[in-house]
């Protein structure tokens, strides 16, 4: 099998020739610092891993006079701060993105009070896919692996996007204090996402669509909150993605042991990231996850990208590959992957990871 066949077989819960092995979203810092400036696709090929490649600038805001952003860039030590002032016919909004050499993050939320969602709902631009560029990327990837994409904007899931827009703690408080407003906010985001899926993802050259996000994990919110504020919206998003003929992976980015029942019924085809406690997850019994989720969904993840890939030895990496294959690989339906982003993984450890995976044959 080539890498694309291997990945798709596992994604559809089949048994490939060997376990597929990949990483989750190769970071530009690592590519520049450790991989001689390789592209993501080149890095997968050089290391010998099966590609799960994402074309990052896959979509854009359709320009509108009702949403005009003015940017101010300033520097504070090693951090670059970009202030966004948004002008609309109904008032101004603002948000801030901060960046360092490793990554970027929202350092000021766009939605600051309850009324801001009405400006957002009325004026936030529609999103469009860069269809031609995505097709070129898909062709370049070829049989080296699968192409992944997300759902704009802010995060794949509605609750997770609302968290980015309003703030983690503030949104949790609002779920207690004003749940009707939270549902109105989530429905606003849902409408945009469903529109994008139907109009833009149909016929798109991708193999797998990522939804969810860390905000819905049970290390951030309770299972009860997940069931009320995530599951109903996730189901509608996943149904829409299936209607345009694409499979879905639900990304929890940490804790999932206590929300497996929700994951089973939200309509996804695969569940990731199988993160252990050492990196902020709560998977302490992989066999239980395999038994409960793996009997109905494909599983992706499991490889600790910090304790093992970054700080371990090549032997420790190989031993962990064999352990993960034993726990999750039985009867197929498993794509081994680094659970999440990494920045300082030695190349020798990545090669040991790829080499060991090639020995995990069915």
Strand partners, 105: 98
List the one residue out of 311, 358, 277 whose CA is nearest residue 286: 277
Q: Quick check: 216 and 273 in contact, CB under 8 A?
A: no
pLDDT of residue 13: 97
Q: Quick check: 247 and 275 in contact, CB under 8 A?
A: no
pLDDT of residue 56: 80
Torsional class of 341: left (φ above 0), alpha (ψ -120 to 50), beta (otherwise): beta
d(CA 332, CA 298): 8
d(CA 43, CA 30): 10
Sign (positive/negative) of CA torsion 291, 270, 300, 105?
A: negative
Q: Quick check: 263 and 256 in contact, CB under 8 A?
A: yes
Give all strands (DSSP E) within the chain, no chain letters: 21-22, 51-54, 59-61, 68-76, 79-88, 91-99, 104-108, 127-129, 145-149, 208-212, 248-251, 270-273, 298-303, 334-338
Residue 236, token pair as written in the block: 């509608």
What CA dihedral angle connects 271, 161, 152 and 233, to 10 degrees?
A: 60
Pick out the chain residues at pLDDT < 50.
none
d(CA 296, CA 119): 41
d(CA 333, CA 302): 13
Residue showing tokens 């849902």: 190
Strand partners, 212: 251
Strand partners, 299: 271, 334
Give phi and psi for 68, each to the nearest 5: -115, 120
d(CA 311, CA 313): 7
Residue 263, token pair as written in the block: 């994951």
Domain map of the chain by residue range? 3-62+126-358, 65-111
d(CA 203, CA 141): 17
Between β-strands 59-61 and 104-108, what pairing exists: parallel, antiparallel or unpaired? unpaired
Q: Quick check: 275 and 281 in contact, CB under 8 A?
A: yes
Residue 153's contacts (CB-CB under 8 Å, 6 or more residues apart) are: 124, 127, 161, 192
Residue 314, token pair as written in the block: 């090549």
pTM of the model: 0.95
Residue 156, token pair as written in the block: 């794949």
Residue 106, token pair as written in the block: 């929202």
| Domain covering 3-62+126-358, topology | TIM Barrel (3.20.20)
CB atoms within 10 A of CB 212: 31
Give phi and psi for 164, each to the nearest 5: -65, -40
pLDDT of residue 242: 98
SS3 (DSSP) at 51: strand
């Amino acid at each position: 099998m080539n890498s694309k066949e291997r990945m798709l077989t596992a994604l559809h819960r089949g048994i490939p020739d060997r376990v597929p092995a990949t990483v989750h979203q190769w970071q530009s810092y690592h590519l520049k610092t450790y991989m001689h400036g390789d592209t993501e696709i080149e890095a997968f090929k050089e290391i010998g891993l099966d590609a799960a490649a994402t074309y990052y600038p896959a979509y854009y805001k359709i320009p509108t006079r009702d949403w005009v952003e003015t940017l101010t860039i300033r520097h504070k030590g090693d951090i670059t701060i970009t202030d966004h002032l948004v002008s609309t016919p109904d008032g101004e909004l603002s948000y801030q993105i901060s960046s360092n050499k490793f990554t970027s993050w929202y350092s000021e939320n766009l939605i600051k009070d309850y009324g801001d969602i009405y400006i957002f709902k009325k004026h936030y631009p529609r999103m469009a896919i860069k269809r031609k560029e995505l097709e070129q990327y898909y062709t370049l990837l070829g049989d080296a692996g699968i192409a992944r994409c997300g759902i704009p904007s802010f995060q794949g899931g509605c609750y997770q996007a609302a968290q980015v827009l309003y703030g983690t703690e503030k949104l949790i408080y609002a779920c207690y204090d004003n749940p009707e407003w939270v549902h109105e906010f989530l429905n606003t985001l849902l409408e945009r996402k469903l529109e994008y899926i139907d109009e833009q993802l149909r016929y798109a050259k991708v193999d797998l669509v990522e939804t969810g996000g860390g905000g819905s994990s049970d290390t951030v919110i309770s299972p009860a909150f997940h069931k009320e504020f995530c599951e109903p919206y996730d189901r509608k998003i996943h149904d829409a993605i299936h209607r345009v003929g694409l499979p879905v992976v639900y990304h929890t980015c940490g804790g999932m042991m206590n929300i497996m029942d929700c994951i089973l019924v939200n309509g996804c085809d695969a569940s990731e990231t199988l993160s252990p406690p050492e990196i902020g997850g709560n998977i302490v019994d992989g066999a239980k996850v395999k038994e409960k989720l793996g009997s109905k969904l494909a599983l992706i993840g499991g490889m600790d990208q910090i304790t093992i890939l970054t700080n371990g030895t090549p032997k420790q990496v190989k031993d962990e590959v064999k352990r993960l294959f034993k726990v999750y690989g039985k009867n197929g339906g498993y794509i081994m992957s680094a659970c999440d982003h990494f920045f300082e993984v030695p190349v020798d450890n990545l090669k040991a990871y790829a080499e060991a995976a090639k020995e995990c044959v069915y």
